[in-house]
Structure 1
């Protein structure tokens, strides 16, 4: 997943509700998956099934962490947190990545053990049936999460969605492993697919770490989106230039600030009106964003500081 750059075009007012519903849905689905996969692992003994069971356990833990992190992140700005609590999402993402790395390590260990000492699988058809049901539930959850991410640009929901998208691939791998090992007697297939699953989980964790780090380090928006902001200013006939454009994400909140260069002879009232117009255009382009513009007399930045008085 790439770091969120362009806030979605959904209604800002509906964002918090959608994010909370997405966390509730994720916890409910994770619980159902854990119960089903635990039964399937007990019946089949498949290490691939164990891998996807552990992943679902960690997904459930991460989704529960997300539930509380999102609720905290949606708290309005207060005296001690003037920019809100959005970075709680990034911190939750880092916490999730730790769980995911641990899961990948354990699956790798179990797969290596089974490769050295292969064990035949039993009742593989039951495991396949359970996995098909898990795929259907996961597809429904991922579709809903993608809708929420499009409308809210939530890093926490996106990180959660990465887990469950990974589950889809892992569940397909489990079906292949159960067929090859349980039906066709290829006992090496189960641990090999376990290695593949562990690698995919670890790769997903790296993406979450990168995206969370981008938010915590206040990474700028993409050049494409920065150019869109500049185009809004350039299109305004009374705006002469702009400089010091800075942007950053905090959870689902986007902050944009820059200096706007105007004719120095304009009245304060007119300069204020021009600035308000530009702010509204940018906020329409990036719904839910907070725009802060400082007005400068045109050319002031090019005048030596000692001559400005």
Structure 2
């Protein structure tokens, strides 16, 4: 039987799910609007934004499924939980984003070679302004979720939406320039957006791979965990601290150096003090303490 989840963890789980639902809904709304205006205008930069929104929807749907799975409690087959599903979602997002960047890059180069006039530019500007407002609202909510949970999947999603702000602003400029007689600006801005999207894909992929490869937690976290352990009276020293992250859960393993003649019950009590001190500071850390006699 799985232990009951603490209230803060239940709240964090609820926030994660709400963030995935909000991301999917925003992406679907923007897809519908951008598809309509792109069909009316034929803008390459607007097509870039439409493709990016399609990738957003696909990535957000992956996030929704992955986060739901990652929040599943540990079972007999997965004693450390299912948290790495979040990192897998981030890796899948990087593939989606890289694919969208290549497609937009191709479309931009093709439009430079074969320039075409734009229609309904002002409708495109209106849609981009609406996109900026919706994206800002979503990012504000995602920032709150990231502060509370540190979710890799939501962080990857937010990184992509932050790049969308730059994209939407540049598309407004491109549409206005094209409307006033500089048609090449639309294609050039589309190519620039593709490069920005590609850079985002690389960053997201790197972060996901680090987690999947059990990269250590940040140095400041490790240093503070060691300091907390050494501050417990009776502990001689601490060594061999190992850390990793799996979704929302942190795992820490360390060795305490204790007096060799210390009774087993007292050694166990010191180990519990160390474990509780670290978990009080880092509530999502699961700490395993090994005692070494000196």
- What is the TM-score normalised by the length of structure 1? 0.91
Is 1:289 matched up with 2:285? Answer: yes
Tell me, what secondary structure is at the counterpart of 1:11? helix
Q: Where does residue 226 of structure 1 map in the other structure?
A: 222
Query: How far did residue 52 of structure 1 move?
Result: 0.7
CA offsets per residue over residues 132-176 of structure 1, 9 Å max, x none?
A: 011000101011111111111111111111111111111001101
Matches within 5 A, 1:1-309: 11-182=8-179, 184-298=180-294
Query: How far did residue 11 of structure 1 move?
Result: 2.9
Q: How far apart are the structure 2 equivalents of 1:60 and 1:13?
A: 26
Tell me, what secondary structure is at the counterpart of 2:262? coil
Query: How far did residue 239 of structure 1 move?
Result: 0.8
Query: How far did residue 210 of structure 1 move?
Result: 0.4
Q: Where does residue 3 of structure 2 map in the other structure?
A: none
Consecutive unaligned residues of structure 2, counting only runs of 5 or more, are 1-6
Q: How far apart are the structure 1 equivalents of 2:235 and 2:115?
A: 72
CA offsets per residue over residues 202-221 of structure 1, 9 Å max, x none?
A: 11110111011101100011
Tell me, what secondary structure is at the counterpart of 1:296? strand
CA offsets per residue over residues 212-254 of structure 1, 9 Å max, x none?
A: 1101100011222211111112222211111110000111111
Q: How far apart are the structure 2 equivalents of 1:176 and 1:286?
A: 46
CA offsets per residue over residues 46-96 of structure 1, 9 Å max, x none?
A: 100000110000100110111111111111111111100011111111111
Q: How far apart are the structure 2 equivalents of 1:224 and 1:88?
A: 25
**Mean alpha-carbon deviation: is it higher for 197-206 or for 90-99?**
90-99
Contact residue 240 and residue 254 of structure 2 kept, 8 A:
yes
Q: Which has the higher contact order (CA 8 A, sep 6+)?
A: 1
Aligned residues, how many?
A: 288
- What is the TM-score normalised by the length of structure 2? 0.95
Q: How far apart are the structure 1 equivalents of 2:293 and 2:50?
A: 63
Consecutive unaligned residues of structure 1, counting only runs of 5 or more, are 1-9, 299-309
Contact residue 46 and residue 121 of structure 1 kept, 8 A:
yes
Contact residue 229 and residue 277 of structure 2 kept, 8 A:
no
Q: How far apart are the structure 2 equivalents of 1:14 and 1:265?
A: 45
Query: How far did residue 266 of structure 1 move?
Result: 1.6
Extract structure 1 runs of 4+ deviating beyond 6 A. Answer: none
Q: How far apart are the structure 2 equivalents of 1:34 and 1:281?
A: 49
Q: How far apart are the structure 2 equivalents of 1:14 and 1:260?
A: 34
Contact residue 17 and residue 68 of structure 2 kept, 8 A:
yes
Contact residue 11 and residue 287 of structure 1 kept, 8 A:
no
